Structure 1
Amino acid sequence: MYKSEQLAHNLRLLIDNGTWPAHSKLPSLRQQAQSSGYSLMTVMNAYQELEAQGLIYAKEKSGYFVAEHLSTQVPQTYSVVSLNPKIEINSQVFKYLKSTQHQQIVPLGSAFPDHQLLCPSKLIQIMGQLARNRKNYEQSSNLPPGNFALRQLIAQRYCMQGITTDADDIVITSGCLDALNLSLQAITQPGDYILLQQTIFYGAWQAAERLGLKVITIPEHPQHGFDLEAFEQVIQSYPIKVCWFMLNAHNPIGFTVSDEIKYKIAKLLHQHQIHLIEDDVYEELFYGSKKPLPMKYFDQQNLVLHCSSFSKTLGAGFRVGWVYAGKFSEHIQHLQLMSTISANSLIQNALVEFLSHHHYEKHLRGLRRSLEKHKKQFYLYLKQHLPVGCEIFNYASGYFLWIKLPDHVNSIEIYEDLLEQHIGVTPSPLFNILQSQQHFLRINCSFEWHSDIAHALDQLSQSIQNHLKLRQITHSA
């Protein structure tokens, strides 16, 4: 750990335990350097790290102050390990996605960031320039495993995180979901056991249903996000073929699992020779200065297939993803040629230009700042306006808030209420198939604050309040 990170960690403890309350003034940079023994530059870097995390704020000519504390709730352990031999969720997901497509819907249920933050003008300009040249539509050089120059650039990004990679390890796909589905299909046969987190992106449930797999789930840990003890119990008790986990900026809850736990997961995977498909589509949407490490970093035996995409950072129209496939590369390419064939050639070429000239990094910095700002606005408003009994899970990454509704308030009923008012939210049965876990909602917080957003959140609060009153009347009767 760098000195500035250590100092930032120590200072955060003082904020978390209330030694420094909200809006209290921090020691000046020089005072902090003298009392801590660190250099002035180290102190400045630590303060900037805390500022990036939203824990402190700067006043011109006045110094640094503690920000209003955004307490991070963590979900309670929901239940014991669950065996789900028969999955039936595809029709439910299809119905939900169709219901939220209308243009007049306030898209708080969308899986993508606000399009106003995406589709950077420089990338559009590059697309326009390349579109005039016929050779950029040439398909053969972009067939599986995909554009070589793009695979090289993606491999370089892995190497920057200390993950030894070259272009041959990468297969370009039509988005992250395509990468995840191809990876699962390459490893499993119908009837195999796979392990999922109990609350997980609905694409995992859909893939399991389509491939005829038996699903075992482990509950979220109330503090760490990932329940290591339950994980070890399952892999010792069942013939798990592969795991599908999201450990960075988890969708829908939002937590990022610590490096220490990731290391322990990797050791258990190696010990039991179990493969992991890692869904890391939100890897770039972290707050602060340090990008979280993927599980691939801790993988010493090529058991992890790491999947990601540009669609959450550049827009749904730029649906180009990839899988770090390793020894499964050729098998995945065969499967790809029988299904999606390849990602769009023009977009692959445009991404090469965009990434080569460092436009992507500049775009990402602006995107992260905007998402952090918008999510904080949503959180503060919801914290003030939601009825008593609601809990908000707020983490320093991504653009989702996960809301626990009061007991006995069903998220499907809230979703249906709001849909009649042209407001979209995502109910928890799409992420967790247990009947006992239907009282959660996912809210997309990526949008610039305006009156329509405030109105939509007010209607959400009112709908919850109405259902609470209805439950009270029914109970008293």
Structure 2
Amino acid sequence: MAEFKYRQLFSYYQQLISNGELLPGDKLPSVRVLSKRHDVSISTATKVLSELEKVALIHAKPKSGYFVNGESKFKAHSYGCDVIYKRDLHALPLAQSVQYSFNDESILPLSCTGPSTVLDNETLLNKLHRKVLTQRPYRLKQDNFEAGLPKLRSTLAQHLSCNDFSYDSENILITHGRSDALSLAITSLGLLQKRVAIEAPCSFFINANMAQLQIDTVAIPMQANYADEIALLDKVYQAEPFSAYVFNPNFNDPTGRLLHDQDKKALVAWAQARDVVLIEYDRGELYFSGVRPKSIMHFLTPQDKTPAISIGDFSDTISFSFSLGYMVCHQCIELCLFTKHITVEKPDMASQMMLNEMISSLEYRKLLTRLRKAMWQQYTETLFILQPLEGYVDIPTISGGPCLWLKLPHSKSSEALFKRLIKHNVAIAPGKMFLTNAEFDNYFRVTFALPWQPRMVQGLNILVQETLRFLES
């Protein structure tokens, strides 16, 4: 129990710092205050502060206490100021190689992010499927529930709501998953023939979908200071206006970046002022512990007239084979519902009933608790294995998400490292897979969110050994 409380409290303060609720220079409660406030022992409170100091989130001042560091071990990076246009969005030969590695059983796909594989949920899903069959999900119905099963939309709205914000189920649509939702958002808002900006780097599925839809895209490189990023967004917008911005604010894939609330507010204000649609891919469910990061939906008001959409799905948390997702729509629900009605097949009723049962019975909440705990443990184990790389490779600390975005020395190419590792049946995701920009060539993504088996440990050790040899070559 003490170990659980320690992890819970450590993650809580880690989240406060990551979200910007505790700012650089802020003082943390003393050991005694921490102990009393959270009803933990003095030793547990001491351990929490000690561990926060170890990961460079806080520092101690003699006779003064503990203070939040000005720069955490999670290093914010800028990726240049040169925007990237459609012709440069992906390097197909490399992307195909990495994609094929996902499905080759002889290769350990550290390149893949599969957090739902951390747990084996087959028994739970089989149990739920048998239960919903008694509700006759395949019987002939007059109402096809184009927006999704009403009970599920209501249940999902309650699940996503928090103390200071409530979701309206009428603004939620159930989809087949994230790709389905992104395509639906692009089509519904008339963006097929428009220019769309995307955050860079961003999830490969976003790049792939944009390429498939032949969208005229412009990629906006991330900046260490988010105010600089918005300034760059505005500079690009004024030079060559775009109609929408697609981004991943919570545990960005691949960098793991989590935007602070004030950054999200600033982005919403900018988008409304410029009449730019925001399309958010929200992976907020994947926080390790503490408080779920907020969606941009929390910062929009009825007075904000420019549409915005938040996309989420359950392949990250339940199973790759469980193809359900959702869209939360702001000022565009009728457009999205109409487009969904004429262009997209409805998700099957049995899966919707299963998800509704899972969330309403609190099974989903229990599953998330197990998943977050397991991901946190695997993340800490991975950091331990990667320790020999410290000083040679930048390794960030993160507060959620399924992957790490590692930085090699600037003269080294992660594509060359990929080719080296694949000979040892280990795959990474090179930075150029996400955008063919020289600024990404020395970065690569690895996951810690796969089944934690001896093969996983062996593969991570091979990664360390071969990376050290690669750096020496």
**TM class by shorter-chain length?**
0.7 to 0.9
Aligned to 1:359: 363
Tell me, in whole angstroms, the C-alpha distance in 2 between the residues paired with 1:395 and 1:63: 19
- Deviation of 1:343 (Å): 1.7
1:273 is aligned to 275
- Answering whether residue 218 of structure 2 is matched by residue 216 of structure 1, we say yes
5 Å matches for 1:28-427? 28-29=31-32, 32=33, 43-44=37-38, 58=44, 66-67=50-51, 69-71=54-56, 72-87=73-88, 89=90, 91-92=92-93, 93-113=95-115, 115-119=117-121, 121-131=123-133, 134-136=136-138, 143-160=145-162, 162-223=164-225, 227-280=229-282, 282-300=283-301, 301=304, 303-337=307-341, 340-382=344-386, 384-386=387-389, 388-427=391-430
Q: Which amino acid aligns with 1:79?
A: G
Length, aligned pairs only: 438
Alpha-carbon contact 2:264-2:299 (below 8 Å) kept: yes
Provide the C-alpha distance between the structure 2 equivalents of 1:360 and 1:401, rounded to a whole number of angstroms: 26
Q: What's the RMSD between the two structures over aligned residues?
A: 3.4
**One-letter code of the match for 2:382?**
F
Alpha-carbon distance in 2 for matches of 1:464, 1:187: 45
Whether the aligned pair in 2 keeps the contact of 1:374 and 1:448 (CA below 8 Å) is: no
Q: State the TM-score, normalized to the length of structure 2.
A: 0.82
Deviation at 1:213, TM superposition (A): 2.5
Q: Does the CA contact (< 8 Å) of 1:197 and 1:219 recur in 2?
A: yes
Paired residue type of 1:202: F
Distance 2:82 2:48 in 1: 46
Q: Which moved more, 1:349-358 or 1:384-393?
A: 384-393
Contact 1:90 1:206 in 2 (8 A): no
431, 446, 461: which is aligned to 1:458?
A: 461
Evaluate the alpha carbon distance shift between residue 159 and residue 465 of structure 1 in structure 2; reply closer, same or farther with a 3 A threshold: closer
| Structure 2 residue matching 1:308: 3-state secondary structure | strand
Is the 2:194–2:243 Cα contact (8 Å) retained in structure 1? Answer: yes
3-state SS of paired residue (2:115): coil
Helix, strand or coil at the partner of 1:441: strand
In the alignment, the residues of structure 1 paired with residue 120 and residue 227 of structure 2 have an alpha-carbon distance, to the nearest angstrom, of 29
- Give the direction of change, closer, same or farther, for the CA distance of 1:391–1:103 in structure 2 (3 Å limit): same
* Distance change >3 Å, CA 452–CA 158, structure 1 → 2: closer
- Mean Cα deviation higher: 93-102 or 437-446: 93-102
Give the structure 2 partner of residue 475 of structure 1: none
Which of 398-407 and 212-221 deviates more?
212-221
Structure 1 residues 315-363: Cα deviation after superposition (integer angstroms, max 9, x where no partner): 1111200101244334334444555402232111111111111111122
Q: 1:294 to 1:15 in 2, by over 3 A?
A: closer
Change in CA separation of 1:14 and 1:188 when aligned onto 2, cut-off 3 Å: closer
Residues 238-275 of structure 1: CA distance to partner in whole angstroms, max 9, x if unpaired?
Answer: 31100001111111111111111111111111111111
TM-fit CA distance, 1:196: 1.2
Amino acid at match of 1:357: S
Cα offset, 1:278, TM superposition: 0.5
| Residues 145 and 333, structure 1, Cα contact 8 Å, conserved in 2 | yes
Provide the TM-score with structure 1 as the length reference: 0.81
Q: Which residue of 1 aligns with 2:65?
A: none
Distance 1:218 1:131, change over 3 A: same
Q: Distance in 1 between matches of 2:221 and 2:364?
A: 36
- Give the number of the structure with larger relative contact order, counting CA–CA contacts within 8 Å between residues 6 or more apart: 2
How many Å apart are 1:175 and its aligned residue?
Answer: 0.8
Residue 412 of structure 1 and its aligned partner are, at CA, apart by: 1.9
**1:52 aligned residue:** none
Shift of residue 16, structure 1, vs aligned partner = 8.5
In the alignment, the residues of structure 2 paired with residue 265 and residue 209 of structure 1 have an alpha-carbon distance, to the nearest angstrom, of 25
Structure 1: 5+ residue stretches without partners: 21-25, 34-39, 49-55, 471-477
Task: Specify the SS of the correspondent of 1:391.
Answer: coil
Q: Do 2:421 and 2:463's aligned partners in 1 also have CA atoms closer than 8 Å?
A: yes
Cα gap change, 1:147 to 1:234, in 2 (>3 Å): same
Q: CA–CA distance in 2 between the matches of 1:202 and 1:233?
A: 25
2:438 maps to which residue? 435
Q: Deviations over 1:378-412 (max 9, x none)?
A: 11221x22274311122111121110112232222
Deviation at 1:157, TM superposition (A): 2.8
Percent of pairs identical after alignment?
19
Question: Take 1:406 and 1:463, find their aligned partners in 2: how far apart are those partners?
Answer: 15
Would the alpha carbon gap of residues 329 and 94 (structure 1) be closer, same or farther in structure 2, given more than 3 Å must change? farther
Residue 184 of structure 1 aligns to which amino acid in structure 2?
A: I
Preserved contact between residue 153 and residue 174 of structure 2 (Cα < 8 Å) = yes
Using the alignment, how far apart are the partners of 2:402 and 2:295 within structure 1?
19
Counterpart contact for 1:377–1:449, Cα < 8 Å = no
Secondary structure of the structure 2 residue equivalent to 1:305: strand
